[in-house]
Structure 1
Amino acid sequence: MSPTLGIREMSASYGELMLVEQPAIACLESLGWTHANLYTETFGEHGSEGRESEHQVVLTRRLRAALSRLNPDLPADVRDDAIGQAIDQLTRDRSKQLAVNANQA
């Protein structure tokens, strides 16, 4: 006979973490993405991920490194400027645009 589960155990197994987040993480990892738990992240220029706050959703330090990796043949004299412009475009606030226009941009 198996023990009966209490309210805490039942709610832990039937919540957003188990039903949505964990399957989404598993799916993304199966596609080659890396999962990082940033619960203990520190903020600021010298923080663990380089974000100013949790409201900054793009990890620009990682994005800059990825863009450099994806564009190895970019001449050094234009690389920093081109990558900076790409980051500016990717992180631009589009919240005031219509969703269809923001998606197209």
Structure 2
Amino acid sequence: MTKGGIWHWKEIISSAMRLQSQNALGQAGLLIGRDHLLRIDGEPMQDAIALDDYHRAAAELPVIAERLVDLHSEKLADFFAQPRPPFGALHGPRHAAVE
């Protein structure tokens, strides 16, 4: 274990991000039901876009998103076919003030 085992930890960030994504998807499924959830992933990129590379992301990601929408248009149409009730956000005091 030279260098503090750094070789064993080299993929920890990717693993943590993948697990976080799975957790978020699981939480969303628990909150709204898996039948109300649609996740569409693209193919993994050979050359990943760095998190701080705005220019490359702005140039490449909209094209990928458009392709994915076209590819999954039937699923998306079914998903958005039914009107959804408006979200009743709660703001302000929860109870009317008693005088």
Which structure has more RCO (C-alpha within 8 Å, separation ≥ 6)? 2
So what's the TM-score if we normalise by structure 2? 0.32
Which structure has the larger Rg? Answer: 2
Pick the structure with more helix per residue.
2
